[in-house]
Amino acid sequence: MELSKTAYVILGMLGLGKSTGYDIKALVDVSTRFFWAASYGQIYPELKRLEALGFIAAVQEPEDGRRRKAYRLTDEGRRALRDWLNSSDELHTELRHEGVLKFFFADALELDEQLALVRRIRAHHEAVARQLREIQAVKEGEDADDRFPGLTLAWGIEYQERLAEWCAVTERQLREELARA
């Protein structure tokens, strides 16, 4: 792998019209962070690296007041982004889900505690779903020229709601068992 995944986040965000590290981070925080997080500690050094490699170039800004460093994709950068998007390399996927981990070990708990655990997992997914719906409400106003960010957001909401629904089903089963006992 030539570039890090974070590098592609940056190339992609520049492709979507963002230009500064700050802007990129702001958009990451309401979009990709739900499936690919990135912090300032990665973004700023990566911007320098990508510039050195010729994938992005600094844009000279009128330097009026506020000091900011705007970048744009170079042709090479745009090519690198498309090559990555089209690449058939194994897709890196990784999940760390403490709720599922606890569920896996839940035989160590009493029935009522198991039920409480699943409730907490559901509450978590419902909270994230709410958060995503808020983001969606904010974006609703803006008319975007891009289609896939919105589709991804819709997917995220459905994903979180399905997980919550699965919890609800499991809760129902545990409640029935608790009633029978």
Partner DNA sequence: TATAGCATGTAATTAGTTACATGATTAA
Partner DNA sequence: TTAATCATGTAACTAATTACATGCTATA
What residues between 35 and 54 interact with its own copies by CB under 8 A?
35-37
Residue 29, both tokens: 């925080």
Binding mask 18-57 toward DNA (x if CB under 7 A, else -) reads --xxxx--x----------xxxxxx-xx-xx---------
Q: Is 101 in the site for its own copies (CB under 8 A)?
A: yes
CA–CA gap between residue 129 and residue 154 (Å, rounded): 10
Whether the CB-CB separation of 73 and 14 falls below 8 Å is answered with: yes
Binds 66, which of DNA, its own copies, none (CB < 5 to 8 A, cut-off by type)? Answer: DNA
Contact call for residue 148 and its own copies (CB under 8 A): yes
* Distance from chain centroid for Cα 136: 14
Residue 3 binding: pick among DNA, its own copies, none (C-beta 5-8 Å cut-off by kind):
none
- Output DSSP code: residue 30: T
Cross-strand bridge partners of residue 72:
57
- Minimum CB separation of residue 48 from DNA in Å reads 7
Structure tokens at 27: 């958009």
